[in-house]
Structure 1
Amino acid sequence: MRHYKKTILATMVMATMPLLAATSSTPIKVTTFVDEDGENPSACSLREALRTAETRVAYGGCTVTDTLSSTQKVIQLEKGVYTLKKELAPNVSVAIWGASPVDWQEKNVLLNDIVNQYPAQIPLQTTIKAENSRIFNTTLGAKALSLNNLILTGGRTADRGGAIYAGADVALQSSQILDSQAKEGGAVYLAGPSTTLTLTKSLIQGNQADKGSVLSMSCFNDVTYAKRTLNLTSNSFIANGSGNSSSMIEFCGESTATLTTNTIAKNIVNSSSGNLIKFTGDTKPGTEENNNSSILSNASNILLTSNTIVENQAFTTLLYDKIGGKVLTYNVLAYNGGVNSYACRYLFGDVVNQEDVSFGIAYNALSLKEGDSTSPINNICDVPKESLKNNTTNLNVSNISIGTLLSPLQAASAYTAFLPIYYPKKNVTEIEVKVDDKTTTKIVGLLDVDGIACSTTDQRGLARIVDGTLYYNPEASNRCDIGSVELMRFTAGDLQDLTNTSISGAMSTYQAQYNFFDNLVKNPNNPDFLTYYKSRLDQYQKLLQYTKANLKYRAIYIDLSNYQLPLPQDTEQADGSYKLEFFNPDLYNVTTEPLGKGQINDTVTDIDGSDKENLVCVWNKDLQQIIFYRKDDSITQAGDKIFCKYTITSKSNPNISSSGLIRAAFANIAPVATDTSLTFKYKEKQKLSLNLLNFANDHGDTGEGGTGPEKNPNKSQFWKNEEGAELPIRLTNVPTNDLSITADRKGACPAPDEKETCYGGNVYVQEVNAFNPFNFSFNYQVYDADGVSSNSATVRTISTATTTDDTRPASSGGGSISFYSIFGLLGLLAYRRFKK
């Protein structure tokens, strides 16, 4: 059986090895820029990597990293240009990654949170270039394709899909498709019965096709509509198409399209008949269910939210009919083409009195007809009267120039997340509007419209924070800006529902993080990350040093950056570019003022200043935090809040100033008890003493080494009764048949546990039977000075009969039987039965 056990162990180990290899996430690494196909066994090309991923057999110079047939394979490319001799046709679900476009030696200019300051974003580093072919064709294998951190350029075909001809799902993240050409679908063509497209944070530029210079698709799968789900988010579509293009994006089939925070600009389609975005059935304007002659299903929908669609050359920017649902919110959809051009056009002519068009439109910047005006309007958005009924949220820009509302198109840079974008301008303009036959003046602009249902982030990835409160200046509260970019304005926001947490717990976390990054600085796992590691080490060193130097009783330490406050400022530079400027304590003054307490609902209804003298709210320049605490030890009652006002003002420009309201509550942090043990000498009758308070503390309120509140700095950590006797220890689960426990003093516990017995001073523990060779345990908890109980901790009694005085034979085993012993007995039984 000894040999059998070795054999089964070896079999188990060998059986797990293929599983470990199959579940490895290690990518296939491409090691040559040359488009090789098996002729060089010492290098791995992209084409060879795709074949290796498909067959799960080494090919060329590529090594297999994943042997499962069901997983998506991963291929990693290096910085440089990969030139293709012919198109790539993946027959396996694959994710291809370019070199990470980051620099760990520099900070990200769009983030001020120290956790995310590193690394800096840089331009894309990896390019796949076609010499004279399409780049990807997945129609044969019909497998999903994911592309990340890649530039695709130069794709060419006389057919469909200049860069990508997709027979299955396609996802592009932080990538680019440049200078590709096709008959249809200059950048991407979607084939297959249910192909989806996900395009995020990418640049699509300079692509051309007769139809769909950026995107086109097949409409039917046999006689049923092809299902299309398209999510286009935070992309820039720039300078695609030509005067011969009929469209830039061509929808058909059963399409569900969501376009959010995109910039669509400088694109060209035919000026007399071309449509930038085409969403029509082409044949029937009706909505009957069996509309089989239509290329667009009635179940289709298109949702445009927070896009900037300007300066395109097109006869129609958005062409629509009654088929499918259309919803447009928070878009700038204007300044495309000239007089006689349309921002929105109904396929079958005059739409004003049409019903059941399913066109929702709100909070957009558009050129609209007002009343019965017949004057020509540049790039009008022609929508049904029913769509504008009781809707006064759209901004009519017919008489407003683009330069009044938007900056020029900004070149890609670190401040634009390396995508060309427009910034909305701060300045507004006055226009005359008619309301009930009366002419009034209205101030208009793209900033801070009434709604809050725009995209949660802008095209750069910055949070719009449109639901933040601003008690001291509510009219300056941030609201949605129309378009793909939210113009950031320096704003101190209100902070709600803050409370003190364990100070010792925070210090322990800081120490653990300091140790972690100190080890990484001394032993970096990647030298590229060393600058980042040093930054984080410095952060936690300062937190440890300055928090310890500013221990305050039950204090709330408020790091504004944890709340993304204050909001940064987008500042226009002399050359017309924009720069995002974050709060810097060296450039701003921070002042604070404690206010008192009060009751609140949605807003502050009353602040009682009589409590103000007990409050301290102060900016600590070393810690770079606001410290908010009480001079006494009162806790905040339910329904109340304690208030502090903070104001941040620019040192160079006092006009740049903003105030915020801090709403907080002060609570008692429960004390902490920890486990401990006692060791009894076997066969010796011992009474051992134990001071359990040495294993407990109330440092959550004070911090280790801290004192009580300013008005009572010598406040005891632990509970004392009315006579001043310290009785904070409560024992539970005591095995009274085995252990005898006494203490220096005892009495009633604090309410609401006054019926229980508490102890003070030393606790004395004695085994009832010194010859008992077993270990025991009991629990204890402690009460702080305010009578709040700690967690339950354990005291273990250890008999040396189970340790140093254990006289049992080492091989006794206590009657246990191993798995292999059972296996052996079963084998022996089977052998005997076989012999019989």
Structure 2
Amino acid sequence: MKNYKKGILCLAVLAAMPLIAAQDKTIYVNTFADENGENPANCSLREAIQTAKDNKSFGGCTPGNTANGQTDIIQLEAGTYLLTEELKPQSTIRIWGKAPVDFTRKDPITHEYPAFTETKTTISGGGKNRIFNTANSGASVELTHITLTDGYSADYGGAVFAAGPFSVIDGAILNSRAKNGGAVYAFARQTEKEISISGSRLEGNKADQAGSVLAMECGADLMNTQSAITISASSIIRNGSAADPSIMDICGQATVRISSSTIAENTVNPQSGSIIKAISTDGHTLSSSSKMELLSNTIVSNKAFSTLLYDDNGSKALVYNVLAFNTGKSCRYALNGGDVAEITTAGISAVKNAFQTDGVEGACDLPDAQLYDTDTATKEKKFKHIKLNGMSLSDVLTPMLVPNEYNAYLPMYYPVNHSTETDLVDVGGDTCGIDQRGLERVTNGTLTLNPDDKNTCDIGSIENMRLTAADLKSLKNTSYVTLLDYYQAEIDYATQILKYPVENKDLIAAYTEILKENTELLAATKANAKYRAIYLDPFAQALPNAVLSTDSQGNVIAKPEELNTDNYTITAEAIGVGSISGEGKEFKFTGTKDPNMKCEWVPAVKRIMIYRLDDELTGGLGSSYCKYTITSKVGHQTSTGILKADFVNIAPIAKDDSYVIKYGSDLAVSVNPLENDSDDGDGPVSALLNPDKPPFFKGADGKDLAIRIVNQPSSIVIKADRSGPCPTDYIRDTCYGGNLNIQVKNNFSPFSYAIEYDIFDSEGLQSTKTAKIYLNNTSVDSNTKADGGGGGSVGVLGVFGLIGMAAFRTFRRKQK
């Protein structure tokens, strides 16, 4: 589905740019040197953090948001900031790296502008220094599009020692080391603080005692500490060594949620080490109130004694994970000698995972109740997950994909679909959330004709993308005039943006395409318009194929095919008017094959058009149904969807009229408001079998009787060529037709006047907008107010500026 930021909004924002610039409170860092006040010409990262805390200039930095307690934003450039000592934020800050985008091309995942690139900004500890430390302040820190690398601490937190909220968004923590918490150490006392990592890569981190990636304080003052750890859409890979005891060490009253992430190729001590350690031991307490949730992760190819080491403390939930193909045990119970045969729950629950079992290498040992459903009558056990015994990783997953533009620059695995019971694809369920690339796991397509092709949840961090033509069952025709106005507005504003290529250089590629697309759509829609037509983009709700291939280096890549006519063909055909029931082989249509109902793919418009040759509205005979098929040009996969359409009457359009009444004359005028009004919202009547259908309501004599006066000043008199009862709900009101002869009672009146009216179409539908007839007096007193109406005017850009400021958001794919 095209999801460009619309020209009308972007122009509004551009128009408002001077105001935005005047209110910009960002602190801009302009040097990579780690200065600390010695050079007033430059603003360093360290000086920016101090400026944010003091709310006054320091070094070469200008204060940002000086309001008490407000968040400061610090903007970095592309490049590496090498620290001479750790940074100690003491106030709430957000640090932004240079946006990793290329505005000249589309992103190959979303097929929208701009394309995302690798992270461009790095902060390095040089292998000698920790990077961030909030131990003394507990300050909240958020990093976006930033790589932290080569952090070092002799004790806690090689890259980050966090005693307050700390977030890493679309970044990385690489090659950092400490005794505890090689990448991050969470230091949270009695108030829960959240560590959040999303869309990021954690690689090459090591720890001597606990947690190559994450460790935390377990207790203080005889109480459990409280930490909230959220890791989503991230890759935790190749951390640790054969000497490291754990990758993630969970303790205290921790709440941990890891979702849509890849945890792979990490290494710990093969005799005692754990990838995820969540147990209580002497001096390492895990609270009975702790919680851990692993949701839709791919946890494979780790070298450890235990990949998940757990005991009876706290609750653990495993849902939609691949937890297999690890050395040692993928799941190990820390008590009772590891024997879970007689254990009821151990506080753990498991739903729809892929495991190895029964003592094989990589087995996941869980209580039987979490692995099997037992028939109460026969006592027969049925495994309720995907059993991967006797299989290899390559049977169900691709090799690990190297970071590239097709996988959001994160190493990950794709599920392999062999259409067998051991595949990780479409295992059931429809609450799968977002996958590791940030793409929605589409599971709500009804697929009435092909229910077996319905997408359900996949196991692991990536959702397999398979061509799906969604059923759409609430289609209605909308205003033809509004559609054309929309295309024209897009053309006008794209044209304005392209007039200023230097100022709008980041928008040129996107708006060149928007201009071309909407120019073609406007012309094609006018040329192919039908009465009360539904113009449906078949790609808007469809799901494309993701084609697995290899690049020039032999790496597997997964390229989602852009949904367009270059990659797919569309066919459509009418089913008829009536109702449907059942699905698949039980699908049944009850009704008539109505020759006046049409459903066809129109290549020029790039839309499926559903319309009637007559002007019948949807009524008691039922809705109109048709089906459409999308076929990929490569591989020739097909998917067919059902369309349910209802035809409704679009209200007529009443427009304001303006006339001059000459001061000093009889102040009378004869007008016909219908000359400026129309029923064009339904589309051209010329496309009907009866092209002579009148636009407006007619009285018993067959003449127009469509005008209803809503409000008129008491100082004027209106006489019409004809009058009679209004239609439908307004039958007790009087409607007028022909000319309206308007006379001001006082010939010497210096005032202007406004009369409010609405109109009815030939089927008796009232206009949604009340229009006005303005009578502009030529009186020399230009300050005289109009009687009976009025109101100020607002500049077009002023209105759009307000709308744009409220609605504008940056280009980016849907985040994890």
Band the TM-score falls in, shorter-chain normalisation: 0.7 to 0.9
- Does the 8 A contact of 2:751 with 2:784 survive in 1? no
> Shift in Å at residue 506 of structure 1?
1.6
- Does the 8 A contact of 2:498 with 2:504 survive in 1? no
Q: Return closer, same or farther for 1:265/1:294 CA change in 2, 3 Å cut-off.
A: closer
Q: Secondary structure of the residue that 1:128 maps to in structure 2?
A: strand
Q: Which residue of 2 aligns with 1:136?
A: 132
Q: 1:323 aligns with which of 305, 313, 329?
A: 313
> Aligned partners of 1:767, 1:611: CA distance in 2, in Å?
59
Q: 2:117 aligns with which of 118, 122, 136?
A: 122
> Aligned partners of 1:457, 1:149: CA distance in 2, in Å?
20
- Does the 8 A contact of 2:168 with 2:197 survive in 1? yes
Moved over 6 A (4+): 20-23, 601-605
> Shift in Å at residue 405 of structure 1?
0.4
1:257-406 counterparts in 2 under 5 A? 257-282=256-281, 295-338=285-328, 341-348=329-336, 349-369=338-358, 376-388=359-371, 390=373, 392-406=383-397
Q: 1:444 aligns with which of 393, 408, 422?
A: 422
> Shift in Å at residue 392 of structure 1?
4.6
Q: 1:589 aligns with which of 564, 569, 573?
A: 569
Q: Does 1:546 align with 2:524?
A: yes
Q: Which has the higher contact order (CA 8 A, sep 6+)?
A: 2
Query: 1:480-528 CA distances to partner (integer Å, 9 max, x unpaired)?
Result: 1110011111222212211111111121122112111111101143313
> Aligned partners of 1:474, 1:392: CA distance in 2, in Å?
25
Amino acid at match of 1:500: N
Structure 2: runs of 5+ lacking an equivalent:
1-18, 374-381, 786-816
Query: 1:719-738 CA distances to partner (integer Å, 9 max, x unpaired)?
Result: 12343211111112234x42
Q: Return closer, same or farther for 1:445/1:77 CA change in 2, 3 Å cut-off.
A: same
> Shift in Å at residue 561 of structure 1?
3.3
Q: Secondary structure of the residue that 1:549 maps to in structure 2?
A: helix
> Aligned partners of 2:535, 2:744: CA distance in 1, in Å?
48
Q: Secondary structure of the residue that 2:528 maps to in structure 1?
A: coil
Q: Secondary structure of the residue that 2:594 maps to in structure 1?
A: helix
> Shift in Å at residue 794 of structure 1?
2.6
Q: Secondary structure of the residue that 2:610 maps to in structure 1?
A: strand
Q: 1:173 aligns with which of 152, 164, 169?
A: 169
Q: Which residue of 1 aligns with 2:535?
A: 557
Query: 1:37-89 CA distances to partner (integer Å, 9 max, x unpaired)?
Result: 12222111111111111112211121223222311111111111111111111
> Shift in Å at residue 708 of structure 1?
4.5
> Shift in Å at residue 181 of structure 1?
0.2
Q: Secondary structure of the residue that 1:508 maps to in structure 2?
A: helix
> Shift in Å at residue 298 of structure 1?
2.1
Q: Which residue of 2 aligns with 1:203?
A: 201
Amino acid at match of 2:384: T
Q: Secondary structure of the residue that 1:171 maps to in structure 2?
A: strand
- Does the 8 A contact of 1:734 with 1:777 survive in 2? yes
Query: 1:291-346 CA distances to partner (integer Å, 9 max, x unpaired)?
Result: xx8722222211111100000011111111222111111100001104xx343434
Q: Which residue of 2 aligns with 1:711?
A: 689
Q: Secondary structure of the residue that 1:380 maps to in structure 2?
A: coil
Q: Return closer, same or farther for 1:154/1:308 CA change in 2, 3 Å cut-off.
A: same
- Does the 8 A contact of 1:709 with 1:715 survive in 2? no
> Shift in Å at residue 553 of structure 1?
0.8
Q: Return closer, same or farther for 1:425/1:605 CA change in 2, 3 Å cut-off.
A: closer
Q: Return closer, same or farther for 1:356/1:649 CA change in 2, 3 Å cut-off.
A: closer
Q: Indicate the percent of aligned positions where both proteins have the same amino acid.
A: 39
Amino acid at match of 1:337: T
Q: Which residue of 2 aligns with 1:224?
A: 223
Amino acid at match of 1:35: D
Q: Which residue of 2 aligns with 1:432?
A: none
Q: Return closer, same or farther for 1:545/1:626 CA change in 2, 3 Å cut-off.
A: same
Normalising by structure 2, report the TM-score: 0.88
> Shift in Å at residue 579 of structure 1?
2.2
Normalising by structure 1, report the TM-score: 0.86
Instruction: Please identify, of 153-162 and 499-508, the stretch whose mean Cα deviation from structure 2 is larger.
Output: 499-508
> Shift in Å at residue 227 of structure 1?
1.8
> Shift in Å at residue 379 of structure 1?
1.6
Q: Which residue of 2 aligns with 1:412?
A: 403
Q: Return closer, same or farther for 1:222/1:640 CA change in 2, 3 Å cut-off.
A: farther
> Aligned partners of 1:106, 1:751: CA distance in 2, in Å?
55
Amino acid at match of 2:121: T
Q: 2:616 aligns with which of 627, 634, 637?
A: 634
Q: Does 1:36 align with 2:31?
A: no
Q: Which residue of 2 aligns with 1:103?
A: 102
Q: Secondary structure of the residue that 1:607 maps to in structure 2?
A: strand
> Aligned partners of 1:457, 1:222: CA distance in 2, in Å?
40
Q: Which residue of 2 aligns with 1:498?
A: 475
The structure with the larger Rg is: 1
CA RMSD of aligned residues (A): 2.3
> Aligned partners of 1:528, 1:232: CA distance in 2, in Å?
32
> Shift in Å at residue 650 of structure 1?
3.4
Q: Secondary structure of the residue that 1:612 maps to in structure 2?
A: coil
> Aligned partners of 1:693, 1:577: CA distance in 2, in Å?
61
Amino acid at match of 2:643: I
> Shift in Å at residue 128 of structure 1?
0.9
> Shift in Å at residue 639 of structure 1?
9.1
- Does the 8 A contact of 2:109 with 2:559 survive in 1? no
> Aligned partners of 2:108, 2:580: CA distance in 1, in Å?
38
Q: Which residue of 1 aligns with 2:456?
A: 479
Q: Which residue of 2 aligns with 1:825?
A: none
Q: Which residue of 1 aligns with 2:796?
A: none
Q: Which residue of 2 aligns with 1:661?
A: 642
> Aligned partners of 2:268, 2:173: CA distance in 1, in Å?
19
Q: Which residue of 1 aligns with 2:798?
A: none
Q: Return closer, same or farther for 1:803/1:567 CA change in 2, 3 Å cut-off.
A: farther
- Does the 8 A contact of 1:213 with 1:249 survive in 2? yes
> Aligned partners of 1:751, 1:192: CA distance in 2, in Å?
69
> Shift in Å at residue 223 of structure 1?
3.1
- Does the 8 A contact of 1:22 with 1:68 survive in 2? no
